[in-house]
Structure 1
Amino acid sequence: MASSRKHIVIAPFYGFGCLLPAMELGRKLANSSCRVTIIVSSATNKNGFEQKVLPLNGANFLDNIVFQMPSTTSNSATLLMDASRASSPAMAKQLRFMENVTTNRREIGDCLQTLIKEEGVDAVISECLWGGDIVELATRQSVPAYYFCSTSMADLLIIGAITPETVRSDPMNGSLFTELPPRGKSLERVPFMFQEVFLSAQRGLQFVKGIVINSVREVDSELVPLLEFYPLFKHIPLWFVGPLLAGDDDLPSEIAVAQAGSVNANANKQLLVLGWAPQTTILAHPAVAVFVSHCGWNSTLEAMTYGVPVVTWPFTSDQQRNAQLLADLGMAIPLPDVSNHDDSRVVYSRELVNAVNTVAGWTGAKSYWEAAGKWKAIVESARRPGGSSYQESLDFLASIFL
């Protein structure tokens, strides 16, 4: 007898920063009486998915969700995007990225086709970075499709602003992730590796019933009106359901105890280097004074959720933009002159010490702590019954069950 529960398929992007919130979204759907399948691409599995990611969510998580590993039939050596022929290391990196996207997108599409045919699927939630192919496939099979934006909604502005005429730049142009597109204007330049990704995502907008965003509406309040300047987004519902934090509220106790033991055993040391640590548990601890962060989107949300001021140290892609957001919110200070893709920049200990002392309020005003506390209260309010994220999560679920 077929199950009466809705079968939801989630296709997260292969980076762990995208996968973790997708898994948390899957957990919430499973807790709402849905049957959830998460398609894990071969690139994700090669990066250590089973060893690094699954333990974050505990045994109970696995009881409710099926992880589908697509069969790999593509031969990357036959692809036109051959990284071995790249003219520079930067171009080789971009070609490898495009190769991963192309190969894994095909794998996910084949896997989804099989699931629709053999098991039946009631809705598909695809990371917008996979582009339009997956949501188009679902829609043409009469399966409702949604985009999932695991990162800041600023990426949606890029999807709206890119055009086929946007000039491809090489090497990678970090400004794509540091400067928002001019209001209602098209992008002038885009890194080679992202042009096809964002153009494909733009094409997929015609097939989606809505976009699920891993953020809080109050955090992105200044960005939401900017989407109105891009007609493709008109009449597409946006549901802010974040923050979707891995391990939030239900971190396996044995992991927390093991890490606590490590800390106790090294109580007299000033620096701990751990292979892995439960970041949400650490940030929630009242002894934490400062968070030195690369400013991935998950870490950015975690800093706001737990009200911890930040010293920002971004390295690549959207991290620079996220760092600027935290600074604009008044809860962070950047390390000076740290920019995307600048491997030559040396950060000296005195710079880090000065930044930490300033943010912690040990050498002056407590303004960074006060701002962090303000945003903690805003996020807490959004997650409570009646709050924006709580209500928009219910609205999204209602669209699934219609």
Structure 2
Amino acid sequence: MKKAEVVFIPFPAVGHLVSALEFAKLLINRDNRLRITILVIKLPQTAESDVYTKSIPISDSLNVINLPEVSLPQTSDPGSAMNALLDAHKPNVKQAVSNLDVTTFVVDMFCTNMIDVAKEFSVPAFVFFTSSVAFLGLNLHIHTLFERDNVDSTQLEQLTELSLPSFANSVPTKSLPSAVIRKESESFFMSYAKGLKKADGFIVNSFEELESHAVHSFLSDTILAGLRIYPVGPILNPEPKTKDPIDYDDIIKWLDDQPPSSVVFLCFGSRGSFDEDQVKEIALAIENSGARFVWSLRKPPPKGAMIAPSDYPLSDLGSVLPEGFLYRTVEIGRVIGWAPQAQILAHPATGGFVSHCGWNSTLESIYFGVPLATWPIFAEQQTNAFELVCELKMAVEISLDYRVEFLGEPNYLVTADKIERGIRSVLDKDGEVRKKVKEMSEKSKKTLLEGGSSYTYLGRLIDYIIDEV
């Protein structure tokens, strides 16, 4: 039997890579007529992707090829550096797939310039979109406004809100991603969204039960209709293998001793960190709320450095936190560095999640039935926060418009009283939000099983790929 050969090109960032690997496993477990080759792009001077790719069970159906490393151009603009990196990899991609009988390309949402390679091989290319259906609709619609109606980011920024087909409510301009409201990001956004529009379809890490309005907009709206979308999520990341399990055994043991749904978990993703003024406000809020807590507190990178936050040495924690904080909260909480997020969210003691609203974290939170309190930082997190609070009513608000521009400063300090209100509200045992999240949690577990909407969409996608053979 001839297998349909699908080539995956994930974006070289952990969240994107892990989702792509999980999705690849989902495909081959569902249908043995598929064979998947994953082309791994490595960022210069990083080894974090190795941890994930080395743990994949290589088989007749799944193959991983590490592309040769290329050097990154020296530029302070991450968008153009990324594009240059991907363009430099095009010959490597062609070389890697030249002896494969490729049926379909699946490229990450940030690797759309690889669609050109798919076109050279005359095969369809799908975009693997690791954010929400609503956000996909936002990108496509705003690109059309810019291109067709000559709107630009300066005009957008002057509006108070914008009506978008993939959202039931008007979206406040301050909840739009920086890329569409900052003049200096406009050319990056235009080339990015133009790239999306070259795709033959979109595989989205979301599910119809969660985003029914947004999914429906792709059938009914004039701009979006005719674009194929396959919401096949939630594709969740199992626990990353980056840390020794011993490191966090004691956190899980501590949670075992806490009452059900009593602990608030504060965690802001792999890139989230705060300056000392903001850390003090968070500490004050936690202490005033009296809530049990697990707080993943990360040390910001040096000013102007494009590296991820790190863990504080224990000896430094005391000086960052208010004097005596660790001593006074020793019975009710834990301050940790890197956190095993999925395991903490899955624990019955965890009752609320103060989050940056990255899409992977959002899906994990819903899957495990833990309500969120929103505190977005950058990328599309403000839009996710708006969708969670105002559209889906599955989160409480700490902020919807806090943001840190790339290598810049935050737009304001979130005060302790605002954070404390969010903590109390997200832990409310009888809250409407908790009820809604629990219901959606059930649906998120059923949607990938036979008869569920994601199961059905995945079947349609596979049929399309097999028909190409």
Q: TM-score range by the shorter chain?
A: 0.7 to 0.9
Identical counterparts, % of pairs: 23
Cα deviation for residue 383 of structure 1 reads 2.1
> 2:277 aligns to what?
none
Cα deviation for residue 297 of structure 1 reads 0.5
- Give the 5 Å matches for 1:351-390: 351-361=418-428, 365-390=430-455
Give the counterpart of 1:10 among 4, 8, 11. Answer: 8
Q: Give me the whole-angstrom Cα distance separating, in 2, the residues matched to 1:217 and 1:30.
A: 22
Q: Give me the whole-angstrom Cα distance separating, in 2, the residues matched to 1:192 and 1:175.
A: 15
Q: Give me the whole-angstrom Cα distance separating, in 1, the residues matched to 2:159 and 2:368.
A: 29
Residue deviations 1:322-351, cap 9 Å, x none?
A: 112221322311114752236153334443
Q: Give me the whole-angstrom Cα distance separating, in 2, the residues matched to 1:203 and 1:73.
A: 25
Residue deviations 1:131-177, cap 9 Å, x none?
A: 3x32232123122211111111233222243134442559x97999x
CA RMSD, 1 decimal: 3.7
* SS class of match (2:18): helix
> 1:90 aligns to what?
none
Contact 1:71 1:107 survives alignment (8 Å): no
Q: Give me the whole-angstrom Cα distance separating, in 1, the residues matched to 2:159 and 2:455.
A: 34
Q: Aligned pair in 2 of structure 1 residues 41, 169: CA closer, same or farther (>3 Å)?
A: farther
Q: Does 1:346 align with 2:346?
A: no
> 2:343 aligns to what?
281
> 2:129 aligns to what?
149
Residue deviations 1:354-393, cap 9 Å, x none?
A: 321222116xx43221111121122223222101011111
- Give the 5 Å matches for 1:82-161: 82-83=75-76, 96-131=77-112, 133-157=113-137, 158-161=139-142
Contact 2:352 2:370 survives alignment (8 Å): yes
Greater shift, 346-355 or 60-69, is seen at: 60-69
Contact 2:72 2:81 survives alignment (8 Å): no
Cα deviation for residue 397 of structure 1 reads 1.5
- Give the 5 Å matches for 1:386-397: 386-397=451-462
Q: Does 1:401 align with 2:466?
A: yes
Q: Give me the whole-angstrom Cα distance separating, in 1, the residues matched to 2:247 and 2:381.
A: 30
Q: Aligned pair in 2 of structure 1 residues 115, 156: CA closer, same or farther (>3 Å)?
A: same
Cα deviation for residue 102 of structure 1 reads 1.5
Contact 1:115 1:121 survives alignment (8 Å): no
Q: Aligned pair in 2 of structure 1 residues 352, 37: CA closer, same or farther (>3 Å)?
A: same
Greater shift, 350-359 or 311-320, is seen at: 350-359
Give the counterpart of 1:76 among 57, 68, 73. Answer: 73
Q: Give me the whole-angstrom Cα distance separating, in 1, the residues matched to 2:56 and 2:373.
A: 35
Q: Give me the whole-angstrom Cα distance separating, in 2, the residues matched to 1:273 and 1:289.
A: 17
Contact 1:295 1:323 survives alignment (8 Å): yes
Q: Does 1:301 align with 2:300?
A: no
Gaps of 5+ in 2: 168-172, 258-329
Q: Give me the whole-angstrom Cα distance separating, in 2, the residues matched to 1:18 and 1:361.
A: 33
Contact 2:208 2:453 survives alignment (8 Å): yes
Contact 2:219 2:225 survives alignment (8 Å): yes
Contact 1:166 1:190 survives alignment (8 Å): no
Cα deviation for residue 301 of structure 1 reads 1.0
Letter of the 2:49 counterpart = E
Contact 2:219 2:226 survives alignment (8 Å): no
Give the counterpart of 2:228 among 215, 225, 237. Answer: 237
Cα deviation for residue 118 of structure 1 reads 2.8
> 2:152 aligns to what?
167
Contact 2:108 2:127 survives alignment (8 Å): yes
TM-score, scaled relative to structure 1: 0.78
Contact 1:333 1:355 survives alignment (8 Å): yes
Contact 1:241 1:392 survives alignment (8 Å): yes
Q: Give me the whole-angstrom Cα distance separating, in 1, the residues matched to 2:70 and 2:400.
A: 45
Contact 2:218 2:224 survives alignment (8 Å): yes
Q: Give me the whole-angstrom Cα distance separating, in 2, the residues matched to 1:313 and 1:206.
A: 30
Cα deviation for residue 232 of structure 1 reads 6.0
Cα deviation for residue 246 of structure 1 reads 0.9
- Choose between structure 1 and 2: higher helix proportion: 1
Letter of the 2:81 counterpart = N
Q: Give me the whole-angstrom Cα distance separating, in 2, the residues matched to 1:382 and 1:322.
A: 21
Contact 1:294 1:319 survives alignment (8 Å): yes
TM-score, scaled relative to structure 2: 0.68
> 2:273 aligns to what?
none
Letter of the 1:339 counterpart = Y
Letter of the 2:5 counterpart = H
Q: Give me the whole-angstrom Cα distance separating, in 1, the residues matched to 2:95 and 2:348.
A: 49
Q: Give me the whole-angstrom Cα distance separating, in 2, the residues matched to 1:282 and 1:262.
A: 8
Between the two proteins, the alignment pairs up a number of residues equal to 371
Letter of the 1:300 counterpart = T
Residue deviations 1:160-203, cap 9 Å, x none?
A: 43134442559x97999x9564789xx99543565445434554
Letter of the 2:39 counterpart = I
Q: Give me the whole-angstrom Cα distance separating, in 2, the residues matched to 1:198 and 1:231.
A: 22
Q: Give me the whole-angstrom Cα distance separating, in 1, the residues matched to 2:188 and 2:105.
A: 19
